[in-house]
């Protein structure tokens, strides 16, 4: 009964840990391994126009920053560069998207403004905002009216629903040889921007809500790009995007949606024909930092109430602290499953922590050296019949003196050993010396050395596990993994089988039974226990 409860608890704890880690890995895209890099695109919009010497006002439509509003991507930060202008970000009422307004009292000559944004991939669920609305139908001549009716009739024949209808409609205007009707409709329409706007309005004649999106294709670095228009129609339930150049459905893979606002992209009061250019720079950046930024964009509290929200110095402390459970777990395995004898319960983990500051090899050498010297000193003090506490104090003083001596000598000999000793290992060393000397007195040198070597082995293995970079990274970025460790530990808490060392210790009994069985002596289970 209690065991079932334990299994359930262990399972629940591990499941929580695993699923939270999975969420962070898959959805928030925190990397599983250290030093992983992700693509970051820096997009720069360069605005150029002529000032007329008087007050000026510039308005630019910007990408949304809300979670999921830019399908497939997230803007992690942005910057405006505009000397002399005052700027204001606004979210226009009743309209889609976001815009910035630059204002200046006096501006003349060539003016250049910049907007820069850093963009990363994001898998947040796409929010297709915007109520379907019919556009104003285009003004057409009688001939054009007849032409568009002919086209609509033909298209209707070949289509099943709104999406296919739109696709077929777009197809009429592309290709090598458009029909006469299409050519008459496109009279005076040159840019793809105008073509997209025309199509969106033309679809209103048939009662289809349509709009035009603008975006960029993010791939390799590329300068001097322009925004690419996309047609989007509402089929009654969702918005469907159609490429106006190929009539293909859906947005291309690397399409970064700049704006879906019906307003003009750029409006400058003083200049009717302002120039706008986009350049894309592709960089690689630390995946953890990017994932943190991306999460912050999504929900500030997710980061604020996580380890990433701590000051950097504290983070580095936790980076070490979070590996302690790994050491403790290694220790648990070695003690309860293997059966290695150590000093104290967590002493080896503390020694392993001390090794962090001295590195493994020099740590082991230093530790062995210091513990042996300390033991010698202690045995001498023992002969002087000092009381326990004064004796401990003397050992501590001696250890510190010895350590400083080792550091000085090592420095003079140009060996980097011992220079990295901090406060922490000192205390551990003194404690180890005391424990060891007690064991030496009490249970003989054999046991003391056995436990000392055992502690050292456990400390080395724990150190290797605790400093293994992928593991260190994993527990720091996904601390919830420790819940899985807790689950396993709970299960191991009920392990009542043999320890490996016990098999060795009791092997004579097993051999005896083996021999008895070989002789054919029928030994009932229970042996001499008397069970028939």
Partner 1 sequence: MMNPFRIAQRLREIGLSGINQRNADYVLRYNPRKFYPRVDDKVLTKQLAIEHGLPVPELYAVVREEHEIEELHAKIKDRESFVAKPAHGSGGDGILVITGRRGAKYRRSNGHLMDQEDFEHHLSNTLSGLFSLGGQPDAVLVEYCVQFDPVFDHVSYKGVPDVRVIVFRGYPVMAMIRLPTRLSDGKANLHQGAIGVGIDIPTGLTRRGVWGNEPVKEHPDTEHSIIGLQIPRWEELLHIAARASEMSGLGYVGVDLVLDKNLGPLILELNARPGLSIQIANGNGLLHRLKKVEEIAVPATDPAERVAFSRENFPTV
Query: Could you list the residues that contact partner 1 (CB under 8 A)?
Result: 336, 339, 385, 387-389, 438, 441-444, 447, 494-500, 502-503, 505-514, 525-531
20, 480 contact by CB (below 8 A): yes
Is the CB of 312 or the CB of 389 nearer to partner 1? 389
Q: State which residue, 330 or 439, has the beta carbon closest to partner 1.
A: 439
Distance of closest approach, residue 508 Cβ to partner 1, in angstroms? 6
Q: Extract the tokens encoding 277.
A: 């250019």
The least distance separating partner 1 from the CB of residue 437, rounded to whole angstroms, comes to: 10
CA distance linking residue 526 with residue 528, whole number of Å = 6
CB of 470 to partner 1, least distance (A): 31
Quote the least distance from Cβ 392 to partner 1, whole Å.
Answer: 9
Query: Closer CB to partner 1, residue 289 or residue 517?
Result: 517
Shortest Å, Cβ 497 to partner 1? 6
- Closer to partner 1 at the Cβ: 5 or 412? 5
Entry field: residues in the chain: 532
Nearer to partner 1, 83 or 383 (CB): 383
Q: What is the DSSP letter of 335?
A: I
Between 387 and 413, name the residue whose CB sits nearer to partner 1: 387
Q: Can you tell me the distance from the alpha carbon of 102 to that of 447, in angstroms, rounded to the nearest whole number? A: 80
Compute the least distance from the CB of residue 448 to partner 1, in Å: 12
Q: How far is the CB of 505 from partner 1 (least distance, A)?
A: 7
Q: From the CB of 394, what's the least distance to partner 1, in Å?
A: 14
Comparing CB distances to partner 1, the nearer of 272 and 519 is: 519
Phi, psi (degrees; rounded to nearest 5) at 117? -140, 140
Distance CA 196, CA 193 (A): 5
Rounded CA separation 338/327 (Å): 15
Residue appearing with tokens 């090592």? 410
CB nearer partner 1, residue 160 or residue 389: 389
Q: Which two tokens stand for residue 507?
A: 């092997």
- Helix, strand or coil for residue 501? helix
> 191: buried, middle or exposed (CB in 10 Å: 19+, 13-18, 0-12)?
exposed
- Alpha-carbon distance of 263 to 267, in angstroms, equals 9
Nearer to partner 1, 365 or 438 (CB): 438
Q: How would you label 391-429 residue by residue, b for 16+ Cβ within 10 Å and e otherwise? A: bbebbbebbeebbeebbeebeeeeeebbeebeeebbebb
3-state secondary structure 76-131: EEEEEECCCCEEEEECCCCCCCEEEEEEECCCEEEEEEEEEEEEEECCCCCCCCCC
Angle at 345 between CA 342 and CA 346, to 5 degrees: 100
Please state the closest distance from residue 427 (CB atom) to partner 1, in A. 15
């Amino acid at each position: 009964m209690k065991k079932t409860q334990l299994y359930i608890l262990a399972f629940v704890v591990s499941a929580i840990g695993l699923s939270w880690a999975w969420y962070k890995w898959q959805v928030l895209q925190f990397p599983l391994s250290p030093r992983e890099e992700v693509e970051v695109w820096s997009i720069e919009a360069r605005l150029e126009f002529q000032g007329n010497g008087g007050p000026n006002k510039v308005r630019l439509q910007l990408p949304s920053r809300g979670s999921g509003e830019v399908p497939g991507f997230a803007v992690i930060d942005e910057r405006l560069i505009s000397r002399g202008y005052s700027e204001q970000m606004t979210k226009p009422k009743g309209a889609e998207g976001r815009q910035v307004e630059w204002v200046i009292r006096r501006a003349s000559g060539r003016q250049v403004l910049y907007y820069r944004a850093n963009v990363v991939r994001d898998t947040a669920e796409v929010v297709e905002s915007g109520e379907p609305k019919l556009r104003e139908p285009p003004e057409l001549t009688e001939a054009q009216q007849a032409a568009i009716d002919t086209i609509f009739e033909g298209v209707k024949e070949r289509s099943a629903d709104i999406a296919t209808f739109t696709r077929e409609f777009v197809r009429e205007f592309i290709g090598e040889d458009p029909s006469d009707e299409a050519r008459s409709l496109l009279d005076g329409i040159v840019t793809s921007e105008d073509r997209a706007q025309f199509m969106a309005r033309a679809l209103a004649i048939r009662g289809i809500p349509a709009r035009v999106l603008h975006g960029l294709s993010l791939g390799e670095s590329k300068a001097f790009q322009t925004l690419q228009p996309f047609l989007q129609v509402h089929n009654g339930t969702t918005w469907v995007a159609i490429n106006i150049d190929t009539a293909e459905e859906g947005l291309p893979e690397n399409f970064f949606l700049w704006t879906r606002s019906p307003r003009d992209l750029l409006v400058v009061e003083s200049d009717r024909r302002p120039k706008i250019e986009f350049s894309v720079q592709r960089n690689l950046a630390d995946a953890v930092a990017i994932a943190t930024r991306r999460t912050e964009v999504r929900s500030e509290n997710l980061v604020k109430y996580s380890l990433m929200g701590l000051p950097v110095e504290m983070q580095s402390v936790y980076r070490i602290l979070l590996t302690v459970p790994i050491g403790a777990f290694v220790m648990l395995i070695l003690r309860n499953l293997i059966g290695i004898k150590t000093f104290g319960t967590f002493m080896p983990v503390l020694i392993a922590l001390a090794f962090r500051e001295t590195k493994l090899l020099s740590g082991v050498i230093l530790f062995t050296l210091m513990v042996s010297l300390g033991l010698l000193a202690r045995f001498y003090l023992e002969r002087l019949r000092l009381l326990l506490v004064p004796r401990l104090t003397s050992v501590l003083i001696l250890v510190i003196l010895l350590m400083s001596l080792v550091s000085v000598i090592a420095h003079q000999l140009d060996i980097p050993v011992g220079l990295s000793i901090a406060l922490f290992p000192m205390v551990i060393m003194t404690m180890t010396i005391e424990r060891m000397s007690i064991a030496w007195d009490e249970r003989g040198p054999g046991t003391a050395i056995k436990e000392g070597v055992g502690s050292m082995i456990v400390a080395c293995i724990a150190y290797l596990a605790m400093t293994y970079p992928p593991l260190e990274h994993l527990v720091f970025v996904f601390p919830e993994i420790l819940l899985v460790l807790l689950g396993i530990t709970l299960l191991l808490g009920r392990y009542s089988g043999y320890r490996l060392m016990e098999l060795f210790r009791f092997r004579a009994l097993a051999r005896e039974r083996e021999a008895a069985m070989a002789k054919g002596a029928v030994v009932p289970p229970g042996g001499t226990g008397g069970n028939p």
